[in-house]
Chains A and B, each alone.
Chain A
Amino acid sequence: MDLRFTADEIAFRDEVRAFLAENLDPKLRDKLATGSYPDKDDLVSWSRILNRKGWGVAHWPVEFGGTGWDPMKQYIFLEETQKWPAPQPLAFGANMVGPVIYTFGSQAQKDHYLPRIANLDDWWCQGFSEPGAGSDLASLKTRAIRDGDHYIVNGQKTWTTLAQHADWIFCLVRTNTDAKKQEGISFLLIDMKTPGIEVRPIITMDGGREVNEVFLTDVRVPVENLVGEENKGWDYAKFLLGNERTNIARIGWSKQRIARIRQLAAQEMSSGRPLIEDERFREKLASIEIDLKALELTQLRVVAADAKRGNTGRPDPASSILKIKGSEIQQATTHLLMEVMGPYALPYLDHDHDGRNEPFDGPEYAADAAPHYFNYRKVSIYGGSNEIQKNIIAKAVLGL
């Protein structure tokens, strides 16, 4: 057992850091460091810089444009980019539909879509959830009926993240209503420009537009946009939701948040001294750090086990806790950061339509703290709520 990085891994880490220092606009880095999201242009331009370097979809197999890094290097890359912080690749393409296409798609689909995902030429969004199909995803109702060379799709998707920017949506649709609910689902790729698609914003409690409703009315989708076999979509969806073990805990992100908490708590004064010197505050911070340190080691155990197996076999049972614990820690950091702001978490900063801000009553760095705390309640809900995760662990790991 040797829990230190090897010389090779350290050299690689330094290479990643040097690349980030040289290539990422410091203004964008600063923006992300405050907790703000990259906008579409930020993400597209950064994705292209990464792709030119050959790191656009680093974790993919080499034949589809990946790097061939072992799981440990992939982990180091993620951690370094999150800690920096740099924008993370758009998950819907790079982590979700991309792997589905290169695993189950046709040659034509691979040839067409994969390079465009790597370069973020196509912005993808995810059409899984529906108003009546959340945790019970397989009960989805969006219907696709074959009509010659097309499917006619009717239905409604919801919680569709960043659909307002999207060129494409990958959808789970029902192609057989007679079969068991999991066995009548297909996986379709739909061009967002197709007539009959309407995107309506859902404004979340933080005031942001991150998610949307997507209405599909008589949308004609060419049959060649079916991935894999008809009625096998549930298998592909399970693959999609289950193949993410390296990034789900977002260790690097939480580390960056903790660094931010430390930085701002050193500035904020409480009873005449910096908040960071307050014993109660320090204990709360240390408590999160202990959790995070333990989870980091849990993550590394999973990564090391993946590396050993060549990332093919059954995942280490410990991988199942990454989502639950990782989301809890992310939420804890957003809460503590809000507490750092004290009363100045209160004012709401209204972003006007030209992107200019109204004056803010308080230190400007305080403006995002409460919205982020509110927004991050999502992480224990999306991707299979933490309660669903516990059901899965109870069944798959504990055998209950």
Chain B
Amino acid sequence: MDFDLTEEQSLIKDQLDRLLSDRYGFEDRRKYMASPEGFSTDMWARYAEMGLMALPFAEEFGGIGGGPDETMLVMESMGRVLALEPYFTTVVLGGGFLRNCGSQAQQQALIPIIADGSSKWAFAQQERGGRYNLAHVATSATESGGHWRISGQKSLVLHGDSADFLIVTARTAGNTTDEAGVGVFVVPATAKGVTLRGYPTQDGMRAAEISFDNVEAAHVLGDPANGMPLVRRVVDEAIAALSAEAVGAMGAMHALTVEYLKVRKQFGVPIGQFQVLQHKAVDMFIATEQMRSITMFATMMAGSDDTSERARAMHAAKVELGRGGKLAGENAIQLHGGVGMTAEYAVSHYFKRITMMNTLFGDGDFHMRKLAAMGGLFENAA
């Protein structure tokens, strides 16, 4: 067992952390958020230059040959500064679909344009009424003459308005919530029949509502009749990555809070001398370390081919993200007092992000129910 980073991993992490500490202060982030894209295209280019976009891909497609560990490092660092760029949707989600199920030709054509930073991707999965059910897909895909055409409505497409390509789930057979009969398609955002409305999210990011009117897909990934295993696999990888981002955000939020306890004076002393506040700060610390641990577990399992054990790990991570994130976030605001309530100060932005992360790909309750239905975490091995 070995928790150390390899030399290459340390190098990537150090370089990224340096870049972020130079260029991703709270005020920088505000400026990036106010730009038309809602993030920094300059930072995006720098990530690409550092090779971050190439990390999880095989060398033959212009990648660096990394895996879930590297993704964890990057996501944690980005979580620490609440990075706005669509790394998660492009590399983890878009790249995840291509990596796991793209044909040789598809990977050859599409991975290099992710790896070099020249394209951005989004995952159009959610539909109204679907809540957290990934198989809830009413959007249809029909084939004629070797071409797939997609019609339907997708919502909450994270970073949809900046994406060049959309990964779209669409039904090729069966009823709206059937596990079978869902295909995964690649659609250029500029394709005829795509109508897109972008909007800001609570946590300072962007999302889009997208309608597809008989849109021709550029690619179908894997088996169009049975794409859900692919979707579940990529979403599991995404949950591991999201957990790492949560670790970064919780760690930063905790550091801000402890710092504040040291400088804020009331009754003539730093408020960090009050035991009741100390214990809350310790509770946040414990929640953050437990989140870090379960994220390591999820990261280890992200690449597993045992779908059941992999799913259990992700359910566990998402439950912990939900409850630990809430504990850390609410205490961070409480310990900052009035200042914590303001938009001017960073801590509220962390709180909002961690709160919204709970809603992505199933909240804590949803995953708890799933894990319980599967028989729990230690059913097979303790």
A and B form one complex? yes
List the interface of chain A (C-beta within 8 A of B).
1-6, 9, 72, 83, 255-256, 258-259, 262, 279, 282-283, 285-287, 289-298, 300-301, 304-305, 308, 318, 321, 324-325, 387, 390-391, 393-394, 397-400
CB of B69 closer than 8 Å to a CB of A: yes
CB of B293 closer than 8 Å to a CB of A: yes
Which residues from A are CB-within-8-Å of B272? 394, 398, 400
Q: Which of B127-135, B167-175, B367-375 is the interface stretch?
A: B367-375
Asked whether A1 lies within 8 Å of B4 as measured between CB atoms, the reply is: yes
What 8 pairs across the A-B complex have the smallest Cβ distances?
A297-B293, A394-B278, A282-B372, A289-B377, A400-B272, A294-B294, A294-B290, A255-B382
Asked whether B281 lies within 8 Å of A6 as measured between CB atoms, the reply is: no
Asked whether B275 lies within 8 Å of A398 as measured between CB atoms, the reply is: no
A207 smallest CB distance to B (angstroms): 30
Asked whether A293 lies within 8 Å of B278 as measured between CB atoms, the reply is: no
Asked whether A398 lies within 8 Å of B1 as measured between CB atoms, the reply is: no
The CA-CA distance from A297 to B275 in the complex, in Å, is: 29
Which residues from A are CB-within-8-Å of B379? 262
Given contacts A4-B1, A308-B4, 14 further A-B contacts (CB under 8 A): A1-B4, A3-B300, A279-B373, A282-B375, A283-B369, A289-B316, A290-B320, A294-B290, A294-B297, A301-B293, A318-B293, A390-B279, A397-B285, A399-B262
Which residues from A are CB-within-8-Å of B106? none
Asked whether B282 lies within 8 Å of A287 as measured between CB atoms, the reply is: no
CB of B261 closer than 8 Å to a CB of A: yes
CB of B65 closer than 8 Å to a CB of A: no
Which residues from B are CB-within-8-Å of A292? 378
Asked whether A390 lies within 8 Å of B282 as measured between CB atoms, the reply is: yes
Which single residue of chain B is at the shortest CB-CB distance from A291? Answer: B290
CB of B289 closer than 8 Å to a CB of A: yes
Q: Summarize B's interface: helix, strand, loop or mixed.
A: helix
The CA-CA distance from A298 to B290 in the complex, in Å, is: 7
The CA-CA distance from A214 to B56 in the complex, in Å, is: 64
- Given contacts A258-B382, A301-B293, A304-B3, is CB(A294)–CB(B376) below 8 Å? no
B299 smallest CB distance to A (angstroms): 8
- Given contacts A293-B377, A400-B273, is CB(A286)–CB(B368) below 8 Å? yes
A-B contact pairs, 8 of them (CB 8 A): A1-B5, A282-B376, A287-B368, A290-B320, A301-B3, A304-B3, A321-B289, A390-B283
CB of B2 closer than 8 Å to a CB of A: yes
B265-298 interface (Cβ within 8 A of A):
272-273, 275, 278-279, 281-283, 285-286, 289-294, 296-297
- Given contacts A83-B382, A290-B294, is CB(A325)–CB(B286) below 8 Å? yes
Asked whether A258 lies within 8 Å of B375 as measured between CB atoms, the reply is: no
B297-328 interface (Cβ within 8 A of A):
297, 299-300, 316, 319-320
Asked whether B3 lies within 8 Å of A400 as measured between CB atoms, the reply is: no
Asked whether A1 lies within 8 Å of B2 as measured between CB atoms, the reply is: yes
Which single residue of chain B is at the shortest CB-CB distance from A72? Answer: B1
A4 smallest CB distance to B (angstroms): 7
Which residues from A are CB-within-8-Å of B4? 1, 304, 308
Which residues from B are CB-within-8-Å of A400? 258, 261-262, 272-273, 278, 281
The CA-CA distance from A398 to B375 in the complex, in Å, is: 38
Which residues from B are CB-within-8-Å of A2? 1-2
The CA-CA distance from A325 to B292 in the complex, in Å, is: 14
Asked whether B262 lies within 8 Å of A9 as measured between CB atoms, the reply is: no
Which residues from A are CB-within-8-Å of B281? 394, 398, 400
- Given contacts A300-B1, A399-B262, is CB(A282)–CB(B373) below 8 Å? yes
- Given contacts A259-B382, A304-B1, A325-B290, is CB(A398)–CB(B258) below 8 Å? yes
List the interface of chain B (C-beta within 8 A of A).
1-6, 9, 69, 258, 261-262, 272-273, 275, 278-279, 281-283, 285-286, 289-294, 296-297, 299-300, 316, 319-320, 368-369, 371-373, 375-379, 382
The CA-CA distance from A49 to B285 in the complex, in Å, is: 42
- Given contacts A282-B373, A287-B319, A394-B279, is CB(A3)–CB(B1) below 8 Å? yes
The CA-CA distance from A400 to B262 in the complex, in Å, is: 7
Which single residue of chain B is at the shortest CB-CB distance from A3? Answer: B300
B54 smallest CB distance to A (angstroms): 20
The CA-CA distance from A324 to B287 in the complex, in Å, is: 12
- Given contacts A304-B3, A305-B3, is CB(A289)–CB(B378) below 8 Å? yes
A53 smallest CB distance to B (angstroms): 24
Asked whether B375 lies within 8 Å of A295 as measured between CB atoms, the reply is: no
- Given contacts A293-B297, A304-B3, is CB(A318)–CB(B282) below 8 Å? no
B195 smallest CB distance to A (angstroms): 42
Asked whether A398 lies within 8 Å of B2 as measured between CB atoms, the reply is: no
A102 smallest CB distance to B (angstroms): 28
The CA-CA distance from A291 to B317 in the complex, in Å, is: 10
B75 smallest CB distance to A (angstroms): 14
Which single residue of chain B is at the shortest CB-CB distance from A299? Answer: B293
Which residues from A are CB-within-8-Å of B375? 282
Which residues from A are CB-within-8-Å of B382? 83, 255-256, 258-259
Which residues from B are CB-within-8-Å of A294? 290-291, 293-294, 297, 316, 320
The CA-CA distance from A4 to B301 in the complex, in Å, is: 11
Which residues from A are CB-within-8-Å of B290? 291, 294-295, 298, 321, 325
Interchain CB contact (< 8 A) of A290 among B9, B296, B300, B319: B319
B330 smallest CB distance to A (angstroms): 18
The CA-CA distance from A41 to B375 in the complex, in Å, is: 39
Asked whether B273 lies within 8 Å of A3 as measured between CB atoms, the reply is: no
B346 smallest CB distance to A (angstroms): 19
The CA-CA distance from A338 to B365 in the complex, in Å, is: 25
